[in-house]
Structure 1
Amino acid sequence: MARTVEFDQHNAIEKALDVFWKKGYNGASMRDLTDAMQINSSSLYNTIGDKHQLFTECIKHYTQKRRIFLEQRAAGAASAVKALEQFFNDVAAVVIKDAHGCFAIKTAFEVSPNDHGIQGLLKEDNDFTHTFLCTLIKKAIKDGEMTDANDADMLADYIISTYTGWYELFLLYRNPIQIKKLADFMAKQLLK
């Protein structure tokens, strides 16, 4: 009779996420993953599956955490414009804090071009962020905090494409002041 495998799957996925984040999908070995998760490979295969299934679970976990964080932060903001300003500052803080870059962005370049399942998860995450930003922009326009000449969809696309470039800048130059200035500049340009 097979023995029941007991471990904290949430905690194990967090640890595997950290390995994938640092080493990438291709650079992370099963040994790296099981060592970090503090489980043996048979426990991994019996509960989560293979490396690809684990990677998929890590992406789902990462994007879900981001969604919850964004929704909570926006809910606590005094207005839509304040939520957008906070979003820009939060992105800048994450860019500066996460020395390995954004896990989703790294995955988009490393894995998703050849993996339609992963690409679908990343599109879903991007669609969430786009909708989140559009909702805030439309509310700010409705509340008179932004001009109604703004196209919410285009602005959301612009914001997402702009802050993804901040990761590259920070990886190359490690200049937190530069990233904070870019966040301030974006807020001043878009939220006036």
Structure 2
Amino acid sequence: MARNLEFNEERAVEKAMEVFWKNGYTATSMRDLTDAMKINSSSLYNTIGDKRTLFIKCLDTYTEQRRQKFLQLTQGQSSPLDQLKYLIKVVIESIEKTPAACMAIKTSFEMAENDPQIHSILKRDAHFSYMQVKGLLEKAVIAGELNYMFDTESTAHYIVNSFTGWYEMYILNKNKDQILKMGDFLIKTLF
């Protein structure tokens, strides 16, 4: 009798996340998912649930991974302003290395407006990014790297929203130099 392979839900969700990330929710079929996860559809329904439930798990996983990466990039011993400049450069580098763009950004355009649960996940993720950037700006003010009158709230929103725009520009133009110039311009203009 053939031995059943043990189902690894975490690995299966990672594989499904890759498919959703590349195709988006609507263009992803159950067949795409079961092929990537190397399970049959009844196993998917019995262990995880339907396509939407799986997508929510994937989106939660993706945003948690982003939060962990963001925390790694915003914690350290260097000056807050240097950390922020480094964060901006890392985002620029990740844009070129992520041919499927950002799953959160893609999902926000595809689904966030009409799905309250997805809207909530993405809003929480965006707020987290905003708070990390704002925290670095506030620390830079305290450290005397920025003027005490510096508008940390508006600047944090501007920086985080610049990241979204850069992804769009790269998708449309595939021009890394253009993104690098925008990042340099952002740093020179703000700091």
Q: TM-score range by the shorter chain?
A: over 0.9
TM superposition shift of 1:77 = 5.0
Q: Residue 96 of structure 1 contacts residue 179 of structure 1 at CA under 8 Å; is this kept in 2?
A: no
The corresponding residue for 2:67 is 67
Distance 2:177 2:53 in 1: 38
Contact 1:44 1:50 in 2 (8 A): yes
Tell me, in whole angstroms, the C-alpha distance in 2 between the residues paired with 1:55 and 1:175.
Answer: 31
Give structure 1 stretches of 5+ with no counterpart: none
Amino acid at match of 2:9: Q
2:147 aligned with 1:158: no
Matched-pair identity in %: 45
CA RMSD of aligned residues (A): 1.4
State whether structure 2 residue 20 is matched by structure 1 residue 20. yes
Aligned to 1:52: 52
Displacement, 1:53?
Answer: 0.6
Structure 2 unaligned residues grouped into runs of 5+: none
SS across alignment from 1:159: helix
1:128 aligns with 2:128: yes
Query: Quick one: distance in 1 between partners of 2:93 and 2:160?
Result: 15
| Alignment correspondent of 2:97 | 97
Inter-partner Cα distance in structure 2 for 1:184 and 1:143: 23
Kept in 1, the 8 Å contact 2:134–2:153? The answer is yes
User: Which residue of structure 1 lines up, in the alignment, with residue 88 of structure 2?
Assistant: 88
- Taking the aligned partners of 1:102 and 1:122, their CA distance within structure 2 comes to 12
Looking at structure 2, the residues matched to 157 and 5 of structure 1 have their Cα atoms a distance apart, in angstroms, of 47
Residue 149 of structure 1 corresponds to which residue in structure 2?
149
What TM-score do the two structures reach when normalised by structure 1? 0.93
Q: Which amino acid aligns with 1:113?
A: E
| Letter of the structure 2 residue corresponding to residue 27 of structure 1 | A
Contact 1:101 1:167 in 2 (8 A): yes
| Structure 2 counterpart of 1:160, one-letter code | V
* Residue 64 of structure 1, CA deviation: 0.5
Q: Which amino acid aligns with 1:37?
A: M
1:112-152: CA deviations, max 9, x gaps?
11101000000000110111111110001100111222111
The aligned residue for residue 182 of structure 1 is 182
How far residue 185 of structure 1 moved from its aligned partner, in angstroms, is 1.4
CA distance in 1 between counterparts of 2:5 and 2:52 reads 20
CA–CA distance in structure 1, aligned partners of residues 77 and 8 of structure 2: 34
Could you tell me whether the CA contact under 8 Å between 2:74 and 2:132 is conserved in 1? no
